[in-house]
Amino acid sequence: MKPKQDTLIVTAGRHPDAHFGAVNPPVYHASTILFPTVEAMKTRNQPYTYGRRGTPTLAALEEAIAAIEGGARTVLTPSGLSAVSTALLAFLKAGDHLLMTDNVYGPSRHFCDTILKRNGIEVEYYDPEIGAGIAKHMKPNTRVIFAESPGSITFEVQDIPALAKAAHAGDAKLIVDNTWASPLYFKPFEHGADVSVQAITKYLCGHSDVMMGAITATEEAGKTVLATHGSLGMTVAPDDVYLVLRGMRTLSVRLERHMKTGIELARWFADRPEVSRVLHPALPTDPGHELWKRDFTGASGLFSIVLKPCPDAAISAMLDHLEYFGMGWSWGGYESLIVPQDLHGIRSSTPAAFEGPIVRIHAGLEDPRDLIADLEAGFARFNAALG
């Protein structure tokens, strides 16, 4: 019987019988792996051959992520950015054309504009809301379409099935950054993706104490990913894997709370006179709501607000003295975060035309009543600074 999703999150990658009954996979610290014979060393016909190529600890997390994402296999990388860069390098070479979504995570854009371009790869940014219109941008040498849905600052939801159809018609791969929803609330392979990347630094870990990425792929695409992953020498630390495994087991209950608090805060912001609009696909007023409702089963705690035009001093007055919202990069941990966002220079094909400053919020696991009281005090300081 195939387990339901919440059961899979708790059980995937666990093999107590192989570890003397231990509920959690042991932490293997290993570089050298011994072979019993010369023949075994030549053929490498044993599960583990060298620490960089995997241990039972790493295999447990890779198996679990592949299971909950619905892919054939997963490999781990030291960060979310390294998952993005490794996945792109797996399918691109000099002379190839990449279609990259214009709302992509800033460091991913930087990788494209530096490493890829200087190695002869043509990078073209496309409107994240283009949908089936992406077919008009396909070229004979297009090898990858890269999507991030929703974008982690402006939160446009992409039509993944339409992008997949165009990619496969042109013999290209569709890579999807699935960090925002996690595999709990979006199943990229059910919608046509060939590869899914995640910063498991975020929700799978959930405690703001690990850097790690994951690349999950179909059987066919996974062979190419595995070869590139090995050639680049990618590996992760076993103690970090242990922490992600521990965090992942509570993903379902944590993410449900993040979602509920995030939506509650988003609705509260929508009623504030200082706020021009809220960028959250779970709200019916959001332009991407229908696509979100069609393809996603939930939302995470990350969203943005657009303030009405105001001076920087007012934003600083609001944010500098918040009690429960920290100011720091990343998200997905148990704590609430808030950061002002500067879109200058991070769009190229579509204008970042917002009527006022953008502030991004991550709803943590605190009581939402305390978070709202903190924000109310922040807006009082904001309005006082306006005079």
Catalytic residue annotation:
52, 105, 177, 202
Measured distance CA(79)–CA(211) in Å, rounded: 5
- For residue 150, is the peptide bond before it cis, meaning its omega torsion is within 30 degrees of 0? yes
Reading the block at residue 151, the tokens are 């974008």
Sequence-distant (≥ 6) Cβ neighbours of residue 118 within 8 angstroms? none
User: Which residue's structure tokens are 């993706």?
Assistant: 193
Reading the block at residue 9, the tokens are 């999150």
Polymer length of the chain: 387
H helix runs in 112-212, sequence order: 117-118, 160-169, 182-185
Reading the block at residue 184, the tokens are 């709990």
Reading the block at residue 137, the tokens are 């941008």
Q: Give strand ranges (E) for the chain.
A: 73-77, 97-101, 122-126, 142-148, 173-177, 195-199, 213-217, 275-279, 302-307, 325-326, 336-341, 358-362
CA distances (Å), origin 122, targets 59, 112, 114, 140, 278: 35, 9, 11, 12, 34
Reading the block at residue 116, the tokens are 């890829």
Strand 275-279, strand 302-307: pairing: antiparallel
Sequence-distant (≥ 6) Cβ neighbours of residue 373 within 8 angstroms? none
Measured distance CA(382)–CA(326) in Å, rounded: 17
Measured distance CA(196)–CA(175) in Å, rounded: 6
User: Which residue's structure tokens are 């004979």?
Assistant: 140
